[in-house]
């Protein structure tokens, strides 16, 4: 997918092209593209006069950023001990089956991607999965399909 550089331009302008606003620019780019395309990092580097390696360093240092395309609703399946014993591996399989992608991949419509994490810090709710900013605790395989439908209908797509 081609990166719309005019959007990057808008973001950089919003922060007055000031290098001390680098993180804010990266956050806005992540929100705009759902990841940080290399072209966006290059443009930020050029316009703020920050060496590319510095921009890249900031983009790789913080977990909030992703350098590869992720879905609008990234799915994180917790595989920490508490979630694992309560069936997280089967939940992961259910999401993979429902979306027809594997862990580390993104759906063709760019709505969902699947990753695993080690502990989301709310083990009392095990097994836990986050979809976008939402936390789904005590999740059962039987509910996976309904959850995906809910986000799809929000986007007006039932595919």
Residue with tokens 């331009």, as numbered in its chain: 9
N-to-C CA span, the chain: 21
91 touches ligand FES by CB under 6 A: no
CB of residue 117 to ligand FES, shortest distance in Å: 8
* b/e burial code for range 77-115 (CB count within 10 A of at least 16 → b): bbbbebbeebbbeebbebbbebbebeeebbbeebbbbbb
CB of residue 76 to ligand FES, shortest distance in Å: 10
CB of residue 130 to ligand FES, shortest distance in Å: 10
Using CB under 6 A, pick the residue from 23, 56, 119, 135 that binds ligand FES.
119
- Please spell the DSSP secondary structure of 12-56, one letter per residue: HHHTTT-GGGHHHHHHHHHHHHSS--HHHHHHHHHHHT--HHHHH
126 touches ligand FES by CB under 6 A: yes
27 touches ligand FES by CB under 6 A: no
Using CB under 6 A, pick the residue from 4, 123, 135, 143 that binds ligand FES.
123
56 touches ligand FES by CB under 6 A: no
Using CB under 6 A, pick the residue from 23, 27, 56, 122 that binds ligand FES.
122
CB contact at 8 A, 13 and 44: no
Interface positions with ligand FES (CB under 6 A): 78, 80-83, 119-123, 126, 128
């Amino acid at each position: 997918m081609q990166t719309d550089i005019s959007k990057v331009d808008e973001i950089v302008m919003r922060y007055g092209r000031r290098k001390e606003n680098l993180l804010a620019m990266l956050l806005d780019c992540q929100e705009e593209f759902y990841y940080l395309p290399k072209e966006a990092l290059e443009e930020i580097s050029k316009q703020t006069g920050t060496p590319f390696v510095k921009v890249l360093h900031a983009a790789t240092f913080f977990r909030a950023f992703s350098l590869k395309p992720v879905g609008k609703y990234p799915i994180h399946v917790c595989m920490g001990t508490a979630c694992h014993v309560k069936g997280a591996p089967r939940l992961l399989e259910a999401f993979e089956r429902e979306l027809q992608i594997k862990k580390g991949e993104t759906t063709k419509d760019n709505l969902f991607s699947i990753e695993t994490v080690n502990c989301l810090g709310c083990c009392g709710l095990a097994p836990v999965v986050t979809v976008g900013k939402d936390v789904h605790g005590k999740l059962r395989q039987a509910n996976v399909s309904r959850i995906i439908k809910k986000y799809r209908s929000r986007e007006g797509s039932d595919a």
